[in-house]
Amino acid sequence: MTKPSDLLQKQTFAFLDIETTGGNSSRDRITEIGIRFWQGGEVVGEWQTLLNPEARISPFIERFTGISNEMVADAPRFEEIADDLEAQLEGKVFVAHNARFDYGFIKSEFRRLGRLFSAKVLCTVKLSRKLYPEFRRHNMDALIARHNLAQVQRHRAMGDVAAMLAFFERALADHGADSMTTALNTLLQRPSIPSHLPTDILHDLPRAPGVYRFYGENDALLYVGKSTNIAQRVASHFSGDHNTSRGVRMSESLRRVDWTETAGELGALLLELKQIKQMKPLFNRRSRAAKNLVSIELTENSEGYLQARLVREIEPHRLGDYFGLFRSKRDAENALSGIAAKNDLCNKLLGLEPDQAGPCFQRTLGRCRGACDGGEDRVKYNLRMQIAFHNLRLRTWPWKGPVGVVERNPENDRTDILIVYNWMHVATVHDYQELEDLSLRSQAVTFDLDSYRLIAKTLMAGSRERSLQIIELDAVGSPDVMMP
């Protein structure tokens, strides 16, 4: 084997595995910890213990791990071994397979005691992906089979530790100390973290879809963002991708990060829009709520010619009668001016000139064909109007009533059912019982330009988005609609 580099020679690696009562570090507890210490090519010690989780171990977990309630009844509680564990891990590289799981549980146990725990973390899943990118699967069973490692007692702490360390040594033998050191340095390199945040903040963040929020001094909300991978997106904020004066000011102000997970991207997008409009974060520039949403309605005048008028009260049940959604009267009038110029339509009938006797001003310039003074046939003019405005017509709601859009994330076993009606996001529930109990009549929602565009694009798009399950809902009532 190649002589270890200085990193491999001098640094102690703590290969750690835990067994737990479940998969959620906020509510489940640790039942076993096993650690094997490695430095300079050899094992230099080990430490292990069963733990009393102060909670019942379910029959499923008992069958999975082989650890029963009787086995842990007289075992120490975490608080009794916390000092020793912290001393064992001090200055070591915390190595685990899918390290976010093990590290998250250890941090949560310390947090319950009112203590902070932090370590430099190496994930052997990521190490395998980096050193063996030609393979698709990198779970422990796959590594044991692929590298012909010795069989161990799986799902017991020291058995999994033995398999993990065997993989590490096999990778070192395959790639040599220099390549191994390069890979380790890359994986152990921490992003530049704003000075007022914990250095291991990224280990707490989920690798899942959702919305994240940055807070400053006095808990002022600085920024709301969304991502299909919260941890990855937040890390990018701390990297060179955001070396703007705005990014620097936000980073210097940052004091706290929190987040809300969702099952999928649509839920994250809708939650981001809602929170930006309601919470008004200081550094978000886009998607603020429009105070005066404006649309265009076509009606016939007394001579039967179609005329345009601006409307501010949009009735969601008759969206097909409206053309365009605009954030201001000026935006709507600019759109009308463009349509008039492109199609030689009458500015008077479009409401761009006062409704006075005689032809419009554009008629005198030859840019109106005479609908204002009877010079153009009514049927022909109305047909040209309908063609000119066709692409601005709002989508009518294609279902009889509200629908539930189901998003599932198999990686964290999360399901969101997004209740949508007339292109408005009404509510989110997480299972069918909540759906049955939901009364839309108690929900107040606002018809919103950004949500309309997002939902219409997603639900009316091609095969990828169509893979979303859509449930038509009956007998749940209709929400109260508020206009901006």
**Cα separation of 370 and 112, whole Å?**
79
Higher model confidence: residue 241 or residue 44? Answer: 44
Structural contact between residues 40 and 21, judged by C-beta atoms closer than 8 angstroms:
no
Q: How many CB atoms lie within 10 A of CB 473?
A: 21
Q: What is the residue whose two structure tokens read 């640094």?
A: 11
Q: Return the amino acid letter for 280.
A: K
Q: Is the pLDDT of residue 409 over 60?
A: yes
* pLDDT recorded at residue 441: 67
* pLDDT recorded at residue 464: 46
* pLDDT recorded at residue 66: 93
> Residue ranges per domain, the chain?
6-188, 201-279, 294-392, 403-482
Q: Is the pLDDT of residue 478 over 70?
A: no
Residue 243 to residues 24, 26, 235, 251, Cα–Cα distance (Å): 36, 35, 13, 10
* pLDDT recorded at residue 463: 40
66 torsion bin: left (phi>0), alpha (psi -120 to 50), beta (else): left
Q: What is the pLDDT of residues 392-406, one digit of tens each?
A: 999 999 998 899 999
Helix (H) or strand (E) holding 427: strand 424-429
Encoded tokens for 418: 């997004």
Q: What angle do CA 275, 226, 262 make, to 5 degrees?
A: 85
Encoded tokens for 239: 């990297």
Q: What is the pLDDT of residues 52-81, one digit of tens each?
A: 999 999 999 999 999 999 999 999 999 999
DSSP classification of residue 242: G
Structural contact between residues 294 and 326, judged by C-beta atoms closer than 8 angstroms:
yes
Hey, CA dihedral for 163, 169, 171, 173, is it positive or negative?
A: negative
Q: Which CATH architecture has domain 201-279?
A: 3-Layer(aba) Sandwich (3.40)
**Cα separation of 457 and 254, whole Å?**
34
Q: Is the pLDDT of residue 202 over 90?
A: no
Phi, psi of 328 (to 5 degrees): -155, 165
Q: What is the pLDDT of residues 325-341, one digit of tens each?
A: 898 899 999 999 999 99
* pLDDT recorded at residue 1: 39
What mean pLDDT is predicted for residues 412-431?
89
DSSP string, 309-368: EEES---GGGGGGEEEEESSHHHHHHHHHHHHHHHT--TTTTTSS---SS--HHHHTT-S
What mean pLDDT is predicted for residues 368-379?
91
Structural contact between residues 173 and 1, judged by C-beta atoms closer than 8 angstroms:
yes
CATH number, span 6-188? 3.30.420.10
**Cα separation of 114 and 398, whole Å?**
53
Q: What is the pLDDT of residues 119-155, one digit of tens each?
A: 889 999 999 999 999 999 999 999 999 999 988 888 8
Q: What is the residue whose two structure tokens read 């093990």?
A: 102
Phi, psi of 415 (to 5 degrees): -125, 130
Q: What is the pTM of this model?
A: 0.63
Structural contact between residues 301 and 453, judged by C-beta atoms closer than 8 angstroms:
no
Higher model confidence: residue 412 or residue 77? Answer: 77
Residue-level length of the chain: 484
Q: What is the pLDDT of residues 341-361, one digit of tens each?
A: 999 999 999 999 988 888 898
